[in-house]
């Protein structure tokens, strides 16, 4: 039992690698007893985190250092210091009560998303993809490998031009994410509620895919054979680069460029982007291009949420999609509250909401799979 609790504490402290974290989350799904221990250790972790922050606010730095040393909370200590600075910046000094911590910890458990998707083959057959090795084959001979790590890889065995191109669709539901390697070697990470339509093998002249939702692309460079992402009324044209595309907001297509260059095309004209730029297309309106810190826009691909002075409505849209919850706003104005914070995508939603309560005039009520947002 001590070994299990120690390993779970390492999980909550972010000291495990991604594969180890996924193993624990899988065990939570299939083992009822393990899930109970998971919830108990999570409660202890919250007690320590909020308790340590309270000690910092009271100025007892020496006690915090002893706590860090005793509990091996080095990473938590770093986060504590960052949160302390943030709280001072907004003029809030607080000491959470044990009862409120326990109340949040014992709310209906809402688990984070996981690797899951539906693959629709050219013949209309659908295959549920999750943590299972599978080998599939299309009618044109293209082989499809699905790994237990939640990745899809396409391979054309005969590169003599004989294999005709067929289209597949990969659909990621709410509470899911998936990664796919296309036939040309291009890697695509798909976030929750996202659909990608693509050929099993590209033709000699073009590489064209169709996107709905949000995805991060690492395009394999092929001279003279551009890669095109079509989304709504516009397209993203590249040769080899890294970028994020998002059309979750109605009527808006957002592109953030990390590396390389892309050319955006729409009925309104063309825009050439350089790294660390964000471009938004609002249908009939002009392009809006600005310099940005790209990390908040692409952090989800690496398993993190990063919010930088973002509206509560946008934050909750992301959380509802990932945690598969519904959001109800008791006050329409509360949607415009701006918040800043970060957390790992595989942690509990309660911890982030509790932190947001402490730095704002907003409160959250979780019942079943519905989060009600209102002013205090």
Looking up residue 150, the CATH number of its domain turns out to be 2.60.120.1440
Comparing CA positions, the residue from 242, 248, 349 lying closest to residue 298 is: 242
| Predicted confidence band of residue 361 (pLDDT cuts 50, 70, 90) | confident
Mean pLDDT of 50-55: 45
Q: Which domain holds residue 71?
A: 2-105
Q: How far apart are CA 207 and CA 225, in angstroms?
A: 7
Domain boundary pick from 105, 128, 160: 105
Note the pLDDT tens digit of each residue in 265-274: 888 788 899 9
Same domain, 176 and 311: no
- Residue 202's pLDDT is 87
DSSP state of 302: G
| Predicted confidence band of residue 236 (pLDDT cuts 50, 70, 90) | very high
Q: How far apart are CA 212 and CA 73, in angstroms?
A: 41
Same domain, 59 and 140: no
The angle, 0 to 180 degrees and rounded to 10, between the axes of the packed helices 349-358 and 32-57 is 20
| Alpha helix (H) residue ranges in the chain | 2-12, 18-30, 32-57, 61-71, 74-89, 98-105, 295-298, 312-323, 349-358
Same domain, 21 and 61: yes
Q: What percent of the chain has pLDDT over 90?
A: 28
| Predicted confidence band of residue 159 (pLDDT cuts 50, 70, 90) | low
β-strand pairing of 214-218 with 242-246:
antiparallel
- Structural tokens at position 369: 């799979």
Q: How far apart are CA 79 and CA 86, in angstroms?
A: 11
pTM for this model (two decimals):
0.70
Residues 136, 123 contacting (CB under 8 angstroms):
no
Q: How far apart are CA 337 and CA 302, in angstroms?
A: 26
Same domain, 59 and 129: no
- Structural tokens at position 302: 């690496």
Same domain, 6 and 135: no
111 has a pLDDT exceeding 90: no
Same domain, 134 and 202: yes
Same domain, 287 and 309: no
60 has a pLDDT exceeding 70: no
213 has a pLDDT exceeding 50: yes
Same domain, 282 and 162: yes
Residues contacting residue 158 through CB under 8 Å, at least 6 positions apart: 141
Same domain, 267 and 318: no
Domain boundary pick from 296, 311, 338: 296
Domain boundary pick from 105, 134, 157: 105
Residues 174, 321 contacting (CB under 8 angstroms):
yes
Same domain, 286 and 321: no
Same domain, 202 and 65: no
Residues 220, 247 contacting (CB under 8 angstroms):
no
Same domain, 319 and 292: no
| Predicted confidence band of residue 65 (pLDDT cuts 50, 70, 90) | very low
Overall domain count for the chain: 3
Helix (H, G, I), strand (E, B) or coil at 52: helix
| Predicted confidence band of residue 48 (pLDDT cuts 50, 70, 90) | low
192 has a pLDDT exceeding 90: yes
Helix (H, G, I), strand (E, B) or coil at 364: strand
Comparing CA positions, the residue from 223, 175, 180 lying closest to residue 198 is: 180
């Amino acid at each position: 039992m001590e070994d299990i609790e120690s390993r779970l504490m390492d999980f909550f402290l972010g000291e495990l690698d991604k594969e180890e974290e996924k193993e624990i989350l899988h065990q939570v799904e299939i083992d009822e007893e393990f899930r109970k221990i998971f919830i108990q250790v999570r409660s202890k972790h919250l007690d320590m985190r909020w308790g340590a922050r309270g000690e910092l606010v009271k100025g007892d730095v020496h006690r915090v250092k002893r706590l860090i040393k005793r509990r091996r909370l080095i990473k938590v200590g770093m986060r504590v210091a960052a949160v302390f600075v943030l709280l001072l910046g907004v003029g809030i000094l607080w000491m959470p009560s044990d009862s409120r911590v326990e109340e949040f910890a014992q709310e209906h458990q809402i688990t984070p998303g996981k690797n899951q998707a539906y693959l629709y083959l050219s013949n209309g057959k659908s295959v549920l993809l999750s943590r299972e090795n599978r080998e599939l084959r299309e009618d044109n001979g293209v082989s499809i490998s699905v790994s237990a790590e939640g990745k899809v890889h396409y391979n054309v065995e005969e590169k003599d031009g004989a294999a005709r191109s067929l289209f597949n669709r990969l659909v990621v539901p709410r509470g899911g994410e998936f990664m796919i390697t296309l036939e040309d070697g291009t890697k695509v990470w798909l976030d929750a509620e996202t659909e990608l339509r693509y050929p099993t093998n590209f033709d000699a002249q073009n590489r064209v895919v169709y996107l709905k939702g949000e995805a991060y692309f690492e395009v394999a460079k092929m001279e003279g054979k551009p890669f095109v992402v079509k989304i709504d009324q516009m397209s993203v044209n590249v040769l080899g680069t890294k970028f994020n595309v998002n059309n979750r907001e109605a009527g808006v297509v957002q592109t953030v460029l990390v590396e390389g260059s892309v050319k955006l095309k729409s009925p309104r004209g063309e825009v050439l982007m350089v790294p660390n730029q964000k471009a938004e297309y609002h249908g009939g309106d002009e392009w809006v291009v600005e310099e940005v810190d790209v990390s908040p826009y692409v952090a989800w691909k690496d398993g993190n949420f990063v919010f930088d002075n973002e509206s509560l409505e946008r934050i909750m849209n992301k959380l509802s999609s990932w945690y598969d919850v519904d959001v109800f706003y008791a006050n329409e104005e509360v949607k415009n509250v701006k918040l800043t914070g970060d957390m790992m995508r595989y942690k509990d939603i309660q911890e982030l909401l509790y932190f947001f309560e402490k730095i704002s005039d907003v409160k959250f009520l979780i019942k079943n799979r519905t989060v009600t947002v209102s002013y205090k």
